[in-house]
Chain A
Amino acid sequence: MINHIVSIKDIDKETILDIIQYAAKIEANPEVYAEKQKGKILSTIFFEPSTRTRLSFESAMLRLGGKVIGIADPKTSSLKKGESISDTIRMAAAYSDIIVMRHFLEGSGRVAAEYSSVPVVSGGTGIQEHPTQALLDLYTIYKEFGRIDNLTIGLLGDLRYGRTIPSLLYAFAKFNNVKIYLYSPQQLRARMTVLSDVEDKLEYRVEDNLEDTIDQLDVLYVTRVQKERFPDEQAYERVKGSFIISPDTLKNAKENMIVMHPLPRVGEIEYDVDDLPQARYFQQAKNGVWTRMSILDKLLEERK
Chain B
Amino acid sequence: MSEERTMIVSKIERGTVIDKIPAGKSLQLIYMLHITGDEMKTVAVGIHVNSASMGKKDILKLTNRDLSGAELNKIWLIAPDAVISTIKDYQVSDKRPISSMRSGNEFEGVLKCNNPTCATNFNEPVKNKFILMDRDPLLVRCYYCDRVMIEDNIKDQLGM
Contact = CB atoms under 8 A, between A and B. Distances in A.
B144 A84 contact: no
A70 interface: no
A287 interface: no
A193 interface: yes
Contacts of B113: 107
B122 A126 contact: no
A28 to B, nearest CB: 36
Contact of A111 (B126, B141, B147, B148): B126
Interface string B101-130: 000000000000101011110111110000
A107 B145 contact: yes
B119 A108 contact: yes
A106 B118 contact: yes
A126 B145 contact: yes
Given A111-B144, A126-B145, A105 B118 contact: yes
A128 B145 contact: yes
B143 interface: yes
Contacts of A110: 119, 143-144
B119 A103 contact: yes
Could you say which interface size class chain B belongs to? 10 to 19
B142 interface: yes
B146 interface: yes
Contacts of A271: none
A194 B119 CA distance: 19
User: Most A CB atoms within 10 A — which of B141, B143, B144?
Assistant: B144
A104 B119 CA distance: 9
A267 B97 CA distance: 61
Contacts of B126: 86, 111, 114
Contacts of B124: 84-86, 111
Could you say which interface size class chain A belongs to? 10 to 19
A107 B144 contact: yes
Interface in A99-118: 103-108, 110-111, 114
Contact of B117 (A85, A105, A194): A105
A106 B147 contact: yes
Contacts of A86: 124-126
Contacts of B119: 85, 103, 105-108, 110-111
A37 B113 CA distance: 39
A84 B123 CA distance: 7
B126 to A, nearest CB: 6
Interface string A101-145: 001111110110010000000000010100000000000000000
User: Most A CB atoms within 10 A — which of B119, B126, B145?
Assistant: B119
B127 to A, nearest CB: 10
Contacts of B115: 106-107
Contacts of A194: 146
Contacts of A107: 113, 115, 118-120, 142, 144-146
Contacts of A82: 123
A38 B44 CA distance: 69
B148 A193 contact: yes
Contacts of B118: 105-107
A84 B122 contact: yes
A218 to B, nearest CB: 28
B151 to A, nearest CB: 15
Interface string B79-105: 000000000000000000000000000
Given A86-B126, A110-B143, 7 more contacts: A85-B119, A107-B113, A107-B119, A107-B142, A107-B146, A111-B119, A126-B145
Interface of B: 113, 115, 117-120, 122-126, 141-148
7 nearest interchain CB pairs? A107-B144, A107-B145, A106-B145, A107-B119, A105-B119, A108-B119, A193-B148
